[in-house]
């Protein structure tokens, strides 16, 4: 780990921590209400009461509310794109102080680009390049497409950075502002330019890819698993009603909601959205279980394998949130969905807050059911890629009577 890498990580961690402490809860809450309000609009349930902290929080959601899901009319729909918009808006709001509605051409271009990149990364044509770098010199149409999409992504990010720098009233709590200030401070302290605009650029890329696709994929997995075990969904709803009564959850409530927390942990265990963690490198000769690991060996942790190890987890392939409840036999200490070591995911705190609040808001207000009796349940196999996604499925989000336990 070079001094440049350490300085970069230190600055990014500090900026994320500062911005998350100041504004994260409100940003995620708005997007969770965003999803909820859209569903309420399309369901035409005018009798449902709202317990919203401030109507001002909802004014930014108008276009999304009236335009995005109106065509559903309470019928079955694939919610993956709506989850992606919500997760993306958390990141773009934190990064640039900017939110989008689903019909935004900017958002559509960004999503199409990121989806294409994530899909191409999972291709065997690209995976082979890691093992055989010389293949880069041979014609590779998939690699050419990837380079084209990366160039498009970089231009989108550069435009965001240019727009942000030109703003007269920059968002004080935007990560971009914190990063630029921190980088200037770091470089002045070091009396040399360790960190440049390239670092700001790539930090933004990591936030967008790591904070959008993964969260949206996880929400899709959660709904799918709950369709397979509807009684668990009922238990979560009853817990929310009993503990919180009529108010909406805050992140500080997570320790009072063990059933909800157990569902989140179990989905993270069964389907870590990044099944292989980012590569590490051995900084000295080491050994693991008697196997010699020479210095500089590249190590790729298999999170999916660790989460399905029968020596650690009973019935490792079964969806059993109760394993994380008291006496259930599971241990949160054995979970590592965000990787580990020096390259532990910097967005872990952000992700945990997103997963908790999105899930709590959605399950408080909606019962997710199959489109019709006898309809097939979602396929839980998953689609092999850099981000582990579920095959598209349709679901009905039926509003719950908020006044009933």
CA torsion through residues 382, 324, 87, 40, sign: positive
Tell me the pLDDT tens digit for each residue of 185-204: 766 665 555 667 787 888 88
**395 part of a folded domain:** yes
CA distances, 101 to each of 95, 115, 157, 289, 350 (Å): 17, 18, 18, 51, 22
The per-residue pLDDT for 294 is 95
**405 part of a folded domain:** no
Is 217 exposed, middle or buried (CB count within 10 Å of its CB: 0-12, 13-18, 19+)?
Answer: buried
The per-residue pLDDT for 171 is 57
**197 part of a folded domain:** yes
Model confidence, pTM? 0.82
Is 195 exposed, middle or buried (CB count within 10 Å of its CB: 0-12, 13-18, 19+)?
Answer: buried
d(CA 327, CA 126): 45
d(CA 322, CA 259): 8
Is 316 exposed, middle or buried (CB count within 10 Å of its CB: 0-12, 13-18, 19+)?
Answer: middle
CATH number of the domain encompassing residue 112: 1.10.630.10
**404 part of a folded domain:** no
Helix axes 3-19, 197-208, angle to 10 degrees: 60
CA 168 to chain centre: 31
177 Cβ contact list (under 8 Å, min separation 6): 164, 170, 171
d(CA 341, CA 324): 24
Nearest to 403 by CA among 49, 29, 72, 71: 49
Total domain count for the chain?
Answer: 1
The per-residue pLDDT for 24 is 67
The per-residue pLDDT for 190 is 58
- 345 annotated binding-site participant: yes
> What is the residue range of 301's domain?
3-399
d(CA 42, CA 66): 9
**312 part of a folded domain:** yes
pLDDT tens for the chain, 405 residues long, are 677 777 777 777 777 776 666 566 677 777 776 666 544 443 433 333 333 333 233 323 332 332 333 345 567 889 888 888 888 888 887 777 777 776 788 888 888 888 888 888 878 888 788 778 788 888 888 989 999 999 999 998 888 888 877 776 655 556 777 777 776 676 666 555 566 778 788 888 888 888 888 899 999 999 999 999 999 999 999 999 999 887 888 888 999 999 999 999 999 999 998 898 888 888 899 998 899 999 999 888 999 999 999 999 999 999 999 999 977 666 777 899 888 777 778 778 888 888 998 899 889 888 899 998 889 999 999 987 788 999 999 998 888 775 343
């Amino acid at each position: 780990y070079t001094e440049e890498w350490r300085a970069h990580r230190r600055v990014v961690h500090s900026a994320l921590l500062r911005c998350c402490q100041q504004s994260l809860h409100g940003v995620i809450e708005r997007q969770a209400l965003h999803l909820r309000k859209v569903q309420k609009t399309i369901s035409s349930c005018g009798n449902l009461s709202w317990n919203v902290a401030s109507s001002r929080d909802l004014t930014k959601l108008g276009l999304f509310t009236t335009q995005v899901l109106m065509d559903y009319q309470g019928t079955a729909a694939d919610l993956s794109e709506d989850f992606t918009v919500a997760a993306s808006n958390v990141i773009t709001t934190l990064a640039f102080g900017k939110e989008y509605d689903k019909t935004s051409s900017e958002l559509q271009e960004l999503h199409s680009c990121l989806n294409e990149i994530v899909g191409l990364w999972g291709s065997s044509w690209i995976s082979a390049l890691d093992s055989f770098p010389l293949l880069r010199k041979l014609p590779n149409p998939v690699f050419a497409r990837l380079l084209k999409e990366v160039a498009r992504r970089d231009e989108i990010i550069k435009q965001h950075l240019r727009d942000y720098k030109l703003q007269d009233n920059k968002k004080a709590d935007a990560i971009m502002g914190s990063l630029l200030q921190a980088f200037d401070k770091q470089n002045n302290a070091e009396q040399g330019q360790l960190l440049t605009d390239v670092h700001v650029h790539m930090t933004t890329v990591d936030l967008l890819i790591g904070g959008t696709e993964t969260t949206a994929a996880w929400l899709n997995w959660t709904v799918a698993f709950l369709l397979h075990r509807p009684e668990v969904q009922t238990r979560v709803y009853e817990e929310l009603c009993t503990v919180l009564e009529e108010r909406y959850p805050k992140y500080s409530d997570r320790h009072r909601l063990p059933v909800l927390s157990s569902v989140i942990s179990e989905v993270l265990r069964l389907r870590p959205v990044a099944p292989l963690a980012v590569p590490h490198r051995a900084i000295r000769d080491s050994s693991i279980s008697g196997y010699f690991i020479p210095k500089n060996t590249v190590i790729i942790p298999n999170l999916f394998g660790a989460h399905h190890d029968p020596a650690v987890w009973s019935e490792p392939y079964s969806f059993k949130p109760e394993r994380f409840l008291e006496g259930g036999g599971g241990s949160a200490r054995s979970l590592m969905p965000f990787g580990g070591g020096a390259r532990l995911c910097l967005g872990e705190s952000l992700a945990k807050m997103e997963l908790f609040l999105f899930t709590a808001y959605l399950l408080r207000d909606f019962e997710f059911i199959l489109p019709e009796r006898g309809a097939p349940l979602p396929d839980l196999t998953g689609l092999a890629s850099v981000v582990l996604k579920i095959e598209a499925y349709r679901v009905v989000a039926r509003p719950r009577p908020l006044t009933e336990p």
